[in-house]
Structure 1
Amino acid sequence: MSVSYHKLFHLLIDRGITTIDLQKQAGFSGNIITRMKRNQYVSLESIEKICHALQCGVDDILEFIVEEGKAKK
């Protein structure tokens, strides 16, 4: 199972917020944005900061993707 942050980037576009603005509001490093753009692991602490800054829930910014051939039976 992998994580996709496409919902976050769509939300930012809809709200007219840049990734730099989000980084400043949430108080995390630019490395976090890079990791999200690559759909890599981001700590729950960072996710919490983003949700707090955007006043949204986790399901508004990420989704889990089941990889083919790896689905549980």
Structure 2
Amino acid sequence: MEASYKKLWKILIDQDMSKTDLRLKAGISTMALAKLGKNENVSMDVLKKICKTLDCNIGDIMDLVPEKNEKNVKR
């Protein structure tokens, strides 16, 4: 499974907030923001800061999706 932060970017668009605005308001690093942009793993602390800033739950900003090579794997 991998993270998808599409929901986060939609919230930012809906709230007319830039990624830089989010970074500054949430107090997260540019590295964390870059990882989010690449759908890479970030710490739970980063996710909690974002949720607190946007007044939402973690499921409102991210999804877990199967990795591309997992889609055709039978279990």
TM-score if structure 2 supplies the norm length? 0.89
Q: Which amino acid aligns with 1:50?
A: I
2:51 & 2:73 partners in 1: Cα distance?
29
Find the residue that maps to 2:28 and give its secondary structure. coil
Corresponding residue for residue 49 of structure 1: 49
Give the structure 1 partner of residue 3 of structure 2: 3
Q: CA RMSD in A?
A: 1.3
**What is the number of residues matched between the two proteins?**
72
**Rounded Cα–Cα distance in structure 2 between residues aligned with 1:41 and 1:24:** 20
Q: Which residue number in structure 1 is paired with residue 72 of structure 2? A: 69
TM (norm. structure 1) is: 0.91
Structure 2: 5+ residue runs without aligned partners?
Answer: none
Runs of 5+ in structure 1 lacking a partner? none
| CA drift at 1:69 | 3.5
Once the two structures are aligned, what percentage of the paired residues are identical? 33
1:31 counterpart residue number: 31
Q: Report the CA distance between 1:70 and its aligned residue.
A: 4.9
Equivalent-residue separation in structure 1 for 2:73 and 2:50 (angstroms) = 29
Q: Which string of whole-angstrom CA distances, capped at 9 and with x for unpartnered residues, describes residues 8-52 of structure 1?
A: 001100100111111111101111111011000100000000000
Distance in 1 (CA, whole Å) between partners of 2:73 and 2:27 is: 35
Q: Which amino acid aligns with 1:24?
A: L
